[in-house]
Structure 1
Amino acid sequence: MASVISSMGLGSGIDINSLVTNLVNAEQAPVTQKLNKREAADQAKLTAFGTIKGALADFRSSLAGLSKLGNTNQRTATSSDTSSVTVTADSNADLGNYRLEVKQLAQGHAVASTPFATVNAPVGTGTLTIKLGTYQTEPSPTFVQNPDKGTLSLTIDSSNNTLSGIRDAINKADAGISAAIVYNGSGYQLVLNSEDGGVKNAMQITGIAGLQYTSGTVAGDTMTQTQAAKDAIVSINGLDVHSTSNTVSNALKGVTLNLLKAEAPNTQTLVNVDISQGSADSFTKPLQDFVKSYNDLYAAVKSVASYNAATKTAGPLLGDSVVQGAMAMVRSQLTQPVSGLTGSIRSLVDIGLRTQADGTLSLDTTKLKQAVSTDRDSVAAVFAVLGRPGNTGVQYTDATSATKTGSYAVNVTHAATQGFLTGNALAAPFPLVLTGAGNDNTFSISVDGVNSDPIALTPNTYANGDALATEIQARINGDSKLRTANVSVSVALDAGNHLVITSKSFGSSSNVSVTQANSALGLTVGSGSTAGSDIAGTIGGLEAEGKGQQLSAISGDASGLKLLIGDNTAGDKGAVSFSRGLTERLDKALGSILNTNGSVSARLNGLQKDLDRIQSDRDKLAERMSQLQRRLIKQFTAMDSLVGQLQSTGSYLAQQLSNLPNSNSSN
């Protein structure tokens, strides 16, 4: 096109190139200027909305700290010597100060075999049986099995009767016993360790002559003890407490003591442990972070949506309805009282948060501490979704978005029960002799719908019901299928010598039944089973749904409220006060602004679409100017050609006129 233009003007002498360029530029300039102005404004708004969106997201993140304030009974636990004892406390821990002395740490039992030449040396075959329990010396040396620990029985044959084969079989069973092979410099020894410590978890190992340990209670021991089973012993205010673990969680209500170091004998070094109500400081830091985050949001909005009188410039989002609407929604949530709360503490203002003259928030820590000391529960409820039972046997577990704030009476008409099996009377009185002949020691059961493998009791003479019940309970709970399914039982003998086997779960899925009978034990297939039952009752006066020990509201304002009834008794359980705090309410409001369908995203999408339209308008303008240029070139080319023709005709006429007779005299 340039070559065409540069060749023009020969006939007319006019600089058509410059003329066409100037005409096109004159047509294009105002439209381009308008598009540039639109684009700059959109880009500024796009950047500003990005800033606002980030500030809103940061403000929303600050709510995570407030949600933790819902623990109304928060406890602070401290230890004066964390190298000896560390301590944690649950919300139900009793308050108090305790003097502790760690006298002994718990340790597991360890035994070792005699040395073998290689790890593949044969050891022996048979049924390897490992029980956990206590060795007693009075009135005579004996072993008393721990009924809470299962019995491990492994078949050892030609496929696994080596040190390595037995080690792998024990470890694969995952029954609380670990096995390793140690080379002592001259031979290989199988070392067994009880994973749980305490004198109740010493090992008794029988069934393979080359691997027997009974602490001398049975002749023929071939393994030696390398580490004795010991309880942890900690003195609490002068009272000795024994524990099978160095983590002591049942000595003080709601308190877990982690014992790390035992003091040397006769040193009597005391550790002070203090369990106190969480102080107002646990509220102060999250609230200060919340205030800072809001003020950062306010500053971000002010920087892009206000008028600067000093510079006489307006922010790109001044007067923007989306920004104004978002901030109005946030401020509204901050000033509204929490529904469901009564009394003097119902809103942020009541605990020391207030809006200052410049629009920012401030926290009066003195007022906050006073509110916490006056009514800690209500302060926590200002922030969190909470159900506060009035009965210690009731525990709030959950609620849904459908649950409305209010106070709901709880009544249990039927407590949850456990499934159990009651057998027939034992075939013979005590002492009961089980020889193993005719499978008088074998049976199978189903617990909570899980079928066990055949269970074989140790052939033995059982002196009384306790000994028999302990053996049966340990064998059942040691079954690999039941253990994998995490189901277990307790076993007792009633006054009529009937075995009573009870599932440890509650509800309609709790059951125990016999799948392989044993007449010696009074166990018959298809009889004696009583299934457990689910809890039944009402919440807010309306029938609730029961599952196990959990009672759930399914209708009315309380719908979705879930409670765990732990005392397993029927009757009136008081009321549960349910409220929704600021955290959930504000999080939902911010979510509605920030989600993909929210106002901020909609505005960002709108601005991006406008930028896309501007680019499309630029492309259309460029095409229109190109067409204009071609049209002007065509017109000026025609003009130049015509001028050239006229000039040629004029020259011809002038020449002809100059040749006419008497032209000079006439002139």
Structure 2
Amino acid sequence: MPLITSAGVGSGLDLESIIKASVDAENRPKMQQFALKDERLTVELSAIGEVKSSISKLNETVEKLADIDNFNKRVANITQPSSGDIISVTPTSDISVGNFDIAVTQLAQGSRAVSTDGAFADADAVVSASGGTLSFAAGTNTFDLSVTAGMTLSELRDAINADENNFGVTANIINTGDTDVGSKLVLTSSVTGSTNNLVITSDTAELDAIETYDATTNPTGGMVIADDDKAQDAKILVDGLLVTSDTNTFKDAVQDMTITAKALSEQDATSLEYDTAKLNIDYDRESVNTLIDELITNYNAVIGQIGFRTRIGEPLNGDSSMRSLDDQLITALSKSLTDAGPFESIFDIGLGVDKEGYLEKSSLVRSLNEAMDSNFDDIGTAFAGENGVAKELESLLGNYVDSDGLLKQREDSLNSQIKDLEDDVINHEFRMASLEDRLRKQYAGLDVLIAQMQQTQNYLGAQLANLPGFTKK
């Protein structure tokens, strides 16, 4: 049998068009159905994703509203004196609001010890010929330093500064240029407080020049701490009351507040009164306003998404779960409050819902600022209390956006349907390929048969034409 490589070659018939038309008649309607279904599922999945995203953002805001700490913040408003900034303040959520006048009369400092005149000719002077141990102390802080035999003054300075146990002693050398005075060793301690002067002792008399002088306990010490160089406390006046601290930080000088002294107050030469910083501790109204604005924005985004996605012609039109969510949101906002002072619902603290269902600030009962003026702490209870609105919303929204929530289940179902549809398309394409292959085999036999018949016809026609008396028209 002759080999036919393309349908219709042998017979001359347009069998390729016939095969294609037969396959298209089976294929096109089904593929159109697949495409329409894929588009419907994809659009619905996208709509569910947009709604879920907006609910997730709202849920993040609700989680903040459910945290009472976000309503307990305090803000410190400081009016510094004209001479400059003298204090900084960090209030805690437990502090009571109030006003204070604060002056800084003394800053904390560490001690400074200086070697006596002529103790060292220059920086290369040998500190100890045989070596020994120096012990440094300031308050409860201590460290020991080994002095090697033949160590020079500059080597001692470097050893003190490099010691890994050094608690805050800095060594320097000042070369005076005066042969009678020589080079001075200066040791500065960072440990502040009136009882924390630097004390240096040794285990050998050869190191007396490095020891600190004390008229009673160590009269042979060569390092002197002048009166102005002694360690001292910081002192502040809070509404005229003296408060001291061994550092420049005053924790709970005013209960539940940390005050840091930054600079001395100027003192009037005549009245001897100090310039003061005016401190006002108030509720952090701005952060609460910001948080409620965020609630309004994200709540309205959810309402807007539900409204848009459920319009006629949209994929979620008539969706019962969306209608249910819309109703449940209003119900959660409207819940009755307990232990929230005069607020029976959040609509009593300056919020309202317009006719379109959008949340807004309202002064129908009282404005938010008025509510903060009169009952600031109760606002936190209204949202973050055990029976607060945020707790109610948090539970509601979690049912939709948690890992096992309704919208996640919807997404999983739609993704599963899309995957099944992809499998259906693959199976259909296989069936169409099988159909085309079967048609080609069927038409191939017809093509060969007609080709043979045409060859026979041509042969017979040629033979007849050669017979005597045969006339071909």
Whether TM-score is above 0.5 comes out as yes
CA distance in 1, matches of 2:460, 2:377: 114
SS in 2 for 1:128: strand
Contact 2:4 2:10 in 1 (8 A): no
Question: Given the superposition, is the C-alpha separation of residues 121 and 590 from structure 1 closer, same or farther in structure 2, using an over 3 Å criterion?
Answer: farther
Q: Which has a greater percent of helix? A: 2
SS in 2 for 1:300: helix
Contact 1:107 1:229 in 2 (8 A): yes
Tell me the CA shift for residue 638 of structure 1.
1.0
Contact 1:101 1:234 in 2 (8 A): yes
Pick the aligned partner of 2:235 from 226, 233, 236: 233
**1:207 maps onto 2:202 in alignment:** yes
Q: Which residue of structure 1 lines up, in the alignment, with residue 32 of structure 2?
A: 33
Q: Which residue of structure 2 lines up, in the alignment, with residue 278 of structure 1?
A: 283
Q: Structure 1-normalised TM-score?
A: 0.58
**1:179 maps onto 2:169 in alignment:** yes
Q: Which residue of structure 2 lines up, in the alignment, with residue 223 of structure 1?
A: 223
CA deviations 1:8-38 (Å, max 9, x no partner) are 3244332011111122122111111111112
Question: Given the superposition, is the C-alpha separation of residues 293 and 188 from structure 1 closer, same or farther in structure 2, using an over 3 Å criterion?
Answer: farther
Q: Which residue of structure 2 lines up, in the alignment, with residue 414 of structure 1?
A: none
- Note the aligned Cα RMSD (angstroms): 3.7
**1:632 maps onto 2:439 in alignment:** yes
SS in 2 for 1:31: helix
Contact 2:110 2:230 in 1 (8 A): yes
Tell me the CA shift for residue 200 of structure 1.
2.7
Q: Which residue of structure 1 lines up, in the alignment, with residue 7 of structure 2?
A: 8
Tell me the CA shift for residue 604 of structure 1.
2.3
Gaps of 5+ in 2: 177-182
**1:263 maps onto 2:245 in alignment:** no
CA distance in 2, matches of 1:205, 1:585: 66
Contact 1:70 1:383 in 2 (8 A): no
Amino acid in the other structure paired with 2:220: G
CA distance in 2, matches of 1:610, 1:634: 36
Greater relative CO (CA pairs within 8 A, separation 6+): 2
Tell me the CA shift for residue 324 of structure 1.
4.2
CA distance in 2, matches of 1:618, 1:99: 80
CA deviations 1:375-423 (Å, max 9, x no partner) are 43332112225xxxxxxxxxxxxxxxxxxxxxxxxxxxxxxxxxxxxxx
**1:587 maps onto 2:366 in alignment:** no
Q: Structure 2-normalised TM-score?
A: 0.78
How many residues are matched?
A: 439
Q: Which residue of structure 1 lines up, in the alignment, with residue 384 of structure 2?
A: 384
Contact 1:85 1:271 in 2 (8 A): no
CA distance in 1, matches of 2:406, 2:169: 63
CA distance in 1, matches of 2:362, 2:40: 41
Contact 1:345 1:371 in 2 (8 A): no
Contact 2:102 2:279 in 1 (8 A): no
Tell me the CA shift for residue 204 of structure 1.
2.5
CA distance in 2, matches of 1:594, 1:655: 86
Q: Which has a greater percent of strand? A: 1
Amino acid in the other structure paired with 1:635: Q
Contact 1:129 1:153 in 2 (8 A): yes
Pick the aligned partner of 2:421 from 603, 611, 614: 614
Larger Rg computed on CA atoms:
2
Amino acid in the other structure paired with 2:165: K
Tell me the CA shift for residue 320 of structure 1.
3.5
> Between the two proteins, what is the percent identity of the paired residues?
24
Question: Given the superposition, is the C-alpha separation of residues 83 and 25 from structure 1 closer, same or farther in structure 2, using an over 3 Å criterion?
Answer: same
Contact 2:134 2:145 in 1 (8 A): yes
Contact 2:106 2:233 in 1 (8 A): yes
Tell me the CA shift for residue 629 of structure 1.
1.0
Contact 2:340 2:382 in 1 (8 A): no
Amino acid in the other structure paired with 2:310: A
Contact 2:98 2:282 in 1 (8 A): no
Q: Give runs of aligned pairs for residues 332-411 of structure 1, distance below 5 A.
A: 332-338=331-337, 341=339, 344-364=342-362, 366-385=366-385
Pick the aligned partner of 2:294 from 271, 279, 289: 289
Q: Give runs of aligned pairs for residues 46-57 of structure 1, distance below 5 A.
A: 46-57=45-56
Q: Which residue of structure 2 lines up, in the alignment, with residue 253 of structure 1?
A: 255
CA deviations 1:75-106 (Å, max 9, x no partner) are 44321117222233334434443333323322
Contact 2:235 2:244 in 1 (8 A): yes
Pick the aligned partner of 2:107 from 101, 105, 108: 105
CA distance in 1, matches of 2:145, 2:284: 59
Question: Given the superposition, is the C-alpha separation of residues 119 and 305 from structure 1 closer, same or farther in structure 2, using an over 3 Å criterion?
Answer: farther
Gaps of 5+ in 1: 133-149, 308-313, 386-578
Pick the aligned partner of 1:605 from 398, 404, 412: 412
Question: Given the superposition, is the C-alpha separation of residues 4 and 103 from structure 1 closer, same or farther in structure 2, using an over 3 Å criterion?
Answer: farther
